[in-house]
Amino acid sequence: MHSLGWSSKLISRALRSGFSALLETTTNVTSNNGGSKSRPHFISVVCGFPKDFLTSKYKPGKYGEDSWFKTSTSNADVLGVADGVGGWRSYGIDPGEFSSFLMKTCERLVHCVNFNPQRPVNLLAYSYCELLEQKKPILGSSTACVLVLNRENSTVYTANIGDSGFMVVRRGEIVHKSEEQQHYFNTPFQLSLPPPGHDHNVLSDSPDSADTLSFPVKDGDVILVATDGVFDNVPEKLLLDMLKEVEGVTDPVKLQMTANSLALMARSLSFDSDFMSPFAINARRNNINATGGKPDDITVVLATVAI
């Protein structure tokens, strides 16, 4: 159904978006270091791919139905990803509009005076409320994960709803990670706005349902924030092997190359029909005979902590 033959132009276009993010990252790192060198900050990069290159148009902050943002204030660095639920396409609804609105609104709210770096769930809640109040309804559903580094206390605060998520690596081990929220197999928790008359048969979870965590970070920690296109296709051990190679790395070019490699690996494995992916393993645990990867949009936000 989906072509595996990538033209060099398509791959170049996708990777170019990653290096555009790299230019932004380099600028942010310079400004972060200009203030107080002892305060922690993220060095972060982004890479990703849409599931279908032929039908997806590149837009900043989006890979297919996935959306992402990263931004900073004087007291916090914030990363976020969201994954629009693809099933809405059968209703003529673009799932990417819902996830994109959430992430763009989260990014804007970070720069409001009442932003609380200890409450990333508020970003999701307020963004969702704004979406519900739009005069032209933005229909659909999305999972979401937002992660905030509070520079005042060197602590990360997270809010995750659904099966996007994060992972933190330190000294070659996974020290923190999110847990999937599923109603049942392949049906994650999600923020939703269904079309009129469909409320009774559409899952819609409250932002208050999000899992929230907080934990201190240390210099050199590696943080991955990603959509399920990564976690469904790349085994945890492979993720760990890649992430531990960039512990303590402050060179955004090296980080970008690792993010590119990780996104490409997830993309490749998603179309490997013989690979026993994490998604296939979970399917078999639910008495579904499945083999192979799960073709999906891929979004990788990769960061290291520098103090």
Q: What is the CATH number of the domain that holds 300?
A: 3.60.40.10
Could you tell me if residue 22 is inside a domain?
no
52 pLDDT higher than 90: yes
Could you tell me if residue 1 is inside a domain?
no
Quick one: average pLDDT of 35-64? 88
Residue-level pLDDT at 81: 98
Q: How many domains are there within the chain?
A: 1
Quick one: average pLDDT of 281-303? 97
Q: Whose CA is closest to 53, among 64, 43, 45?
A: 64
Lowest mean pLDDT among 7-16, 85-94, 102-111, 270-279: 7-16
Could you tell me if residue 33 is inside a domain?
no
Task: Read off the pLDDT of residues 148-192 as tens digits, 9 standing for 90 and up.
Answer: 999 999 999 999 999 999 999 999 999 999 999 999 999 999 999
Residue-level pLDDT at 86: 86
Could you tell me if residue 165 is inside a domain?
yes
Confidence of residue 258 (pLDDT cuts 50, 70, 90): very high
Residue-level pLDDT at 23: 40
257 pLDDT higher than 60: yes
Per-residue buried b or exposed e for 72-109, using 16+ beta carbons within 10 Å of the residue's own CB: beeebbbbbbbbbbbebeeeebebbbbbbbbbbbbbeb
Could you tell me if residue 18 is inside a domain?
no
Confidence of residue 37 (pLDDT cuts 50, 70, 90): low
Could you tell me if residue 11 is inside a domain?
no
Could you tell me if residue 118 is inside a domain?
yes
Residue-level pLDDT at 31: 40
Quick one: average pLDDT of 56-76? 95
% of the chain exceeding 70 in pLDDT? 88
Residue-level pLDDT at 167: 98
Domain limits at 44?
A: 39-306
Could you tell me if residue 200 is inside a domain?
yes
Torsion sign (Cα): 8, 11, 17, 20: negative
147 pLDDT higher than 90: yes
Quick one: average pLDDT of 220-234? 98
